[in-house]
Structure 1
Amino acid sequence: MNIDLGSIPYLSIILSALAICIFGSIWYSPKVFWNTWLKLKGLNEDKLPSVGKVMSGSILMAIVNSFLLAIIAGWVNIEGLIDGLWLGLVVGLVIAGTSATNAMYEGMKLKLYMITAGFHVISMIIAGIIIGCFA
């Protein structure tokens, strides 16, 4: 398989990375899962790394994940919203499944795993839809 970097829809990568960041800020907001996530992790806000460090890393990973998803979309000839949705779902479930093994070894509570895995699945679906619309 060849990677034709010229055929990658870079605008879709930027938009999907932005969408992942916006979705993450909602998913992990205090009104949704932030407080539950903190409690299940046994953390308080004083022990967390700086917001700038975490956000810059999150933005970088959203870009990398979107770029890799766009490469996969090109390999499997994704065309349109529905194809993108299915691609995002499959990739999200692969991420969640792989994370499940780690969660079991770490003794992670099911609720914490579901919050984390749910974010990955839904964010990949969102990114897949956006990338699919540009294919």
Structure 2
Amino acid sequence: MDFLNIYAIIAAAFSALIVGFIWYNPKVFGNAWMDAAGLSEEQLKGGNMAKIFGLALLFAFMLGFILENLVIHQAGALSLTGGDSKVALQSYSDFMTDYGNNFRTFKHGVLHGVIAGIFFALPILGTNALFERKSAKYILINSGYWIVTLGIMGGIICAWK
């Protein structure tokens, strides 16, 4: 049983855009984010949206690719075989028969995605924002987006077998 599920990763990547459309909507956090970022609607309209959304989707895909290893525990067992289940010992096959679907739920993936958001995204975004002299509000809005997004991405990736 190998774990690379390209369809789950693609779905998770698109979920990042969907959450972003909601999160950064002016009726949710969009206006507060623009204020905290020091941006106006005119400035935002000046960007190349195809490039922005295309790269955002690529980056979300990259996150999903690595997130799979964080949210699916059995991937650790596979890594012990050198990453090739076809040459693994019988003990790997027996282990996967017994435990191959343990903790493969949306809820468990959300847990690990949220943990990744708190311990990866928040420190990275927070550090950048501090040096950019951005406010706590800016840090919380952007980090909150990534914590929620990585939670949803983790849930999709973990549950999709």
The superposition leaves residues 77-110 of structure 1 with CA deviations (integer Å, 9 ceiling, x where unpaired) of 7522232112101111121122222222222111
Unaligned runs of 5+ in 2: 78-102
2:111 corresponds in structure 1 to 86
Task: Give the structure with higher Rg (CA).
Answer: 2
Report the TM-score when normalising by structure 2.
0.73
Report the TM-score when normalising by structure 1.
0.85
The SS at the match of 2:28 is coil
Task: Kindly report the root-mean-square deviation, in angstroms, between the aligned alpha carbons of the 2 structures.
Answer: 2.0
Unaligned runs of 5+ in 1: none
Confirm whether residue 108 of structure 1 aligns to residue 104 of structure 2: no
Contact 1:8 1:71 in 2 (8 A): no
Confirm whether residue 98 of structure 1 aligns to residue 124 of structure 2: yes
Runs of 4+ in 1 over 4 A off after TM superposition: none
Indicate which of 10, 13, 31 corresponds to 1:14: 10
Contact 1:100 1:113 in 2 (8 A): yes
Task: Output the CA distance in 2 between the equivalents of 1:102 and 1:42.
Answer: 15
Q: How far off is 1:62 after superposition? A: 1.3
2:49 corresponds in structure 1 to 51
Task: Output the CA distance in 2 between the equivalents of 1:100 and 1:119.
Answer: 13
Task: Output the CA distance in 2 between the equivalents of 1:8 and 1:73.
Answer: 12
Number of residue-to-residue matches in the alignment? 131
Contact 1:73 1:132 in 2 (8 A): yes
Residue identity (%): 28
Contact 1:92 1:125 in 2 (8 A): yes
Task: Output the CA distance in 2 between the equivalents of 1:43 and 1:121.
Answer: 23
1:129 corresponds in structure 2 to 155
Q: How far off is 1:7 after superposition? A: 2.8
1:92/1:76 CA distance change after superposition, 3 Å: farther
